[in-house]
Amino acid sequence: MNLLFRSLSGRAPVATQTSTADDDLLKLDALNVERDGVALLRDISMSLRRGRTLGLVGESGAGKSMLGRVLARTVPGGFAVRADVLRFGGIDLPSASAASHRALLGQRIAFIPQEPMSALDPTLTIGRQFALHLDRLGVPSGERRQRSIDALAEVLLHDPEGILTRYPFQLSGGMCQRVCIAMAFASNPDLVISDEATTALDVTTQRHVVELMRAMQAKRRTSVLFVTHDLGLALHACDDIAVLYAGDLVEVGEARQIVDMPRHPYTRALLRANPPLKGERVRVDPLNGHMPGFEEMGAIAGCRFAARCAYVSEPCQAAPIPMQTVDGVAVRCVLGGTLPEAAPRATLAVPSTMADAPFLILRGVGKRYAPVGGGGGLGIKGGRGAGKAPVLALSPLDLSIAPGEFVGVVGESGSGKSTLGRLVMGLETPSEGSILLDGEQLDASREMWRKRIDAIQMVFQDARAALNPRRRLGSIVTQPMESRTHMHVDRARRALDLLDEVGLAPEMVARFPAQLSGGQRQRVNIARALCDVPRLLVADEIVSGLDVSVQAQIMELLLALRESHKIALMLISHDLAVVRYLCTRVVVMQRGVVVEAGPTEAVLNDPQHPYTRSLIDAAPHIGPARVAPSSSAPHSL
């Protein structure tokens, strides 16, 4: 990748590498996206060479996705795009006709969306959508079915022929994401823009997708813009990394250089907000404050990170900061790329084993589902599922949870993690076994249901879908009180207390969910679950897809709740670093079976099962590679 930077003072561009024009697939110079005199993207200049992967890293609102929208001509109305140069494959994009630009999209420029459920048509089967896509690419009708099957198999989707008959709502979010990835690569494009495409995937599938992109690059010299908030993933997936903050490129260079020696305070802050998967257990450093919104950007004359920077000085705020190159890394900072030595991160103690007796016990709990019938997988009686054996979702297991104990449940998609959580919460009924709360067996009676929801609350992964968009926050967080009339008099006070407990300002009590960031919505999700101070939180991928800064804040919040309320946690996650940071014990699941369990440090530092080792090896991490031991032994819960 060749990146050229035009400083805001108007000096000539400087280059991190030299390249020939023939190597430049994408070239931007002095790109600005503006409205009412405020630049949402400000002075972006870069060239992307063929066959290279550039990681665009930053928090939500940094401008990562907007860059893709510029290339797709889907910039929101009211914004103007200005650039000295905006060229793709020798084509001047601003002067290209609408028809010729549309011809590039899907054919030479492919997009992998962040939200696959929104990208796929819910009224059409996957096979029909794939066929329409291939038709647009000019694939003969007789070849489309096999091309679709091959593409789905390439992204590790089991039973690709069966998937062609299904609708998007019949697939998991991770499966839908893999369908979108398969469609993007079907045309053998020159450029793939991957917008957080691996966020919903487990670590092994995530690694396969990265390897797939690499293979496409080797075969076709495909270039990739890899949009992500995960610096660890960017290190392993990308040749180079560009760090964006509030529409500014603040640091760009080779991936390993950026991670090993960050030269901008924001890059360092992102790294320190990441929990380590390996090595010493240290506390994360959440970033204070928030990224400025569009309205705030217009009032900032200088560095847009200044309000959150530990090294801010008067020159930072006076005027725009020019980009300069130091040892091959381009950085936009008055410190010139030489940061003061950072204070050591505080040590995080290994959680102690709970001495209290378990209050929740699962004995031989398993779950089997009736086989899927015909009618495109809708379970129609007498269809393809007739006469088939039930599908095993969760093999019988034993598990106990004590007050204040944090238990991590990890594994690939389809391993049974969410099924286990839904059984504990009562959203599913066990096919066998029993669940005991304080020695009483939980059943479907109204009395037992009341006891269950008093003691157990679930925090869902998708906070946007879990919150009623028509309710204000004060009503949402106290929603559990609506079934208890004697408590209504305290509801307003309770709402303020809950918002304070999850770190939200009291004036937010009157806001609607649409007025919040993703991290704020997740805090509201947690606050509602805490309304009646449950004894156990079942958290299903609650930090997946969040910025590392927000993830750090939520992790610290959960640890504080453990200390203040002795709340227990069942954390369902594919992020092993987060599980290591929070959990006392870890349960590893594969295809509905517990294959390993034990104290978190013991399991992650000395895994005994090959599957556990494969998860650890596949997880992106910032430190050096670790060789896992090859021994194996039985486990116990």
Looking at the predicted structure, is the pLDDT value of residue 630 above 60?
no
Looking at the predicted structure, is the pLDDT value of residue 28 above 80?
yes
Band of residue 4 on the pLDDT scale cut at 50, 70, 90: very low
End-to-end CA distance of the chain: 49
Residue with tokens 């270039």: 223
Q: What's the CA dihedral at 592, 594, 600, 603 to 10 degrees?
A: -120
Average pLDDT over residues 518-525: 82
Tokens representing 77? 């109305």
Looking at the predicted structure, is the pLDDT value of residue 330 above 60?
yes
Give the total residue count for the chain. 637
Residue with tokens 């101070």: 533
Which domains, ranges and CATH numbers included, belong to the chain? Answer: 4-108+187-331 (3.40.50.300), 401-618 (3.40.50.300)
Looking at the predicted structure, is the pLDDT value of residue 425 above 80?
yes
Phi, psi of 65 (to 5 degrees): -70, -30
Band of residue 11 on the pLDDT scale cut at 50, 70, 90: very low
Q: How far apart are CA 621 and CA 274, in angstroms?
A: 10
Query: For 366-390, how does the pLDDT look when each residue is reduced to its tens digit (9 = 90+)?
Result: 999 887 554 443 333 344 455 567 8
Query: For 214-262, how does the pLDDT look when each residue is reduced to its tens digit (9 = 90+)?
Result: 887 777 788 999 998 888 889 989 999 999 999 999 999 999 999 999 9
Q: What is the pLDDT of residue 387?
A: 56
Helix or strand (DSSP H, E) at 296: helix 294-297
Band of residue 546 on the pLDDT scale cut at 50, 70, 90: confident
Residue with tokens 């530990």: 310
Tokens representing 313? 């000085």
Band of residue 354 on the pLDDT scale cut at 50, 70, 90: low
CA quadruple 173, 174, 177, 178: dihedral sign: negative
Average pLDDT over residues 154-183: 87
Give me the percent of the chain exceeding a pLDDT of 70. Answer: 89
Q: Which of the residue ranges 306-315, 465-474, 501-510, 569-578 would you say has the lowest mean pLDDT?
A: 501-510
Residue with tokens 């800064």: 549
Q: What is the pLDDT of residue 374?
A: 44
Side-chain half-sphere exposure of 260, counting CA atoms within 13 A: 8
Rounded to 5 degrees, what angle do the CA atoms 546, 550, 556 make? 125
- Higher-scoring residue by pLDDT: 629, 474: 474
Query: For 304-329, how does the pLDDT look when each residue is reduced to its tens digit (9 = 90+)?
Result: 999 999 899 999 988 889 989 999 89
Q: How far apart are CA 98 and CA 110, in angstroms?
A: 17
Contact yes or no for 232/620 (Cβ under 8 A)? yes
Band of residue 509 on the pLDDT scale cut at 50, 70, 90: very high
Q: What is the pLDDT of residue 377?
A: 39
Side-chain half-sphere exposure of 437, counting CA atoms within 13 A: 18
Q: CA 274 → CA 70, 536, 554, 575, 621, distances in Å?
A: 30, 26, 12, 11, 10
Query: For 275-285, how does the pLDDT look when each residue is reduced to its tens digit (9 = 90+)?
Result: 999 888 999 99
Q: CA 28 → CA 34, 111, 367, distances in Å?
A: 16, 19, 54
Q: What's the CA dihedral at 69, 305, 620, 349 to 10 degrees?
A: -150
Q: How far apart are CA 568 and CA 562, in angstroms?
A: 7
Output the average pLDDT for the chain: 84
SS (H, E, C) 212-267: HHHHHHHHHCCEEEEEECCHHHHHHHCCEEEEEECCEEEEEEEHHHHHHCCCCHHH
